Amino acid sequence: MRASIVQAPLMDMERAMGFLEENEERIFSGADLVVFPEKWITDRMDQDGPEMSSLLRFYGDMSARHRVLLCPGSLSVYRDGRLFNSSPLIDMGKLIGWQDKVSLFRSEKKSYTPGSEVKVFDTHLCRIGVCICYDVDFPYYCKMQAGMGARLILNPSLIDRDFRDMWHIYVRARSLENRLPFISVNSSSEMFGSGSMVTWMERAGKGVLLRELQAGDVFTLVELSTDVADLVDTRAEEDPGHYSLRTK
């Protein structure tokens, strides 16, 4: 599988559509999957409103034209008067679902409503989980997705450059403990400074080694394997799961 990592700077929707048109070949050429950062489009839109409809149609046309799975990062979406941080997933032109951010980060709690469901999505590539930024900090989020059959986790993020090292630790940990490849994408805006990374498993004797690549350019094409079913299943069998998530 070839994944295109797009470390897009923050911009409004109008500029974002121009950015996508101007860089279409650089973004989509040779890719099976394209992933953008969290909330890189700064507009807040009604999910059923004309702006969102226009944007999703635009994304769908590009996804269909290039026959790719597209994760356009996350968007600030109003539903029934409540604001969610939510990531759509578009497979070869078809919107197949939304994943809301469950664990809101500090100031987000003032404006956003947390999601209440962890999902996986069947795509033409494999079964995929989406884990938005801060959700990666909490082990059982990705463990649930692994248990539901995910073979790849996408992690659209927006990480201040000062916290990059800790973010990378979380991504490595979730990838290694679940034996799942991860694609974690940050914005190239000055405050965030890129640092996107891809992790995957490499079989080594009776065990596995964690491998990684960190993206440098705004546009990076990476090849990785999602042939990890045996590793994920073995790992799940080794975990007794007899834990309490909270203590009283």
Residue type, 158: L
Question: Which residues of the chain fall below pLDDT 70?
Answer: 242-248
| DSSP one-letter code for 52 | H
Backbone angles phi, psi at 34, to 5 degrees: -130, 130
**What confidence score (pLDDT) does residue 241 get?**
72
Q: Where are the domains of the chain?
A: 2-238
Architecture of domain 2-238: 4-Layer Sandwich (3.60)
**What confidence score (pLDDT) does residue 158 get?**
97
**CB neighbours of 48 closer than 8 A, spacing ≥ 6?**
none
**What confidence score (pLDDT) does residue 240 get?**
74
**What confidence score (pLDDT) does residue 244 get?**
60
Mean of the per-residue pLDDT values of the chain: 95
Q: Tell me the C-alpha to C-alpha distance, in Å, between residue 125 and each of 47, 63, 232.
A: 26, 14, 17
pTM score: 0.95
Closest by alpha carbon to 185, among 38, 60, 31? 38
**What confidence score (pLDDT) does residue 239 get?**
81
| DSSP one-letter code for 160 | -
Residue with tokens 């990666």: 136
Task: Give yes or no for a contact between 97 and 121, defined as CB atoms under 8 angstroms apart.
Answer: yes
- Report the DSSP beta bridge partners of residue 147: none
Alpha-carbon span 114 to 135, nearest angstrom: 11
Tens of pLDDT along 12-21?
999 999 999 9
Residue type, 104: L
Tokens representing 129 are: 């989980």
Q: Output Rg (C-alpha) for the chain, integer angstroms.
A: 17
Tokens representing 149 are: 């059959």
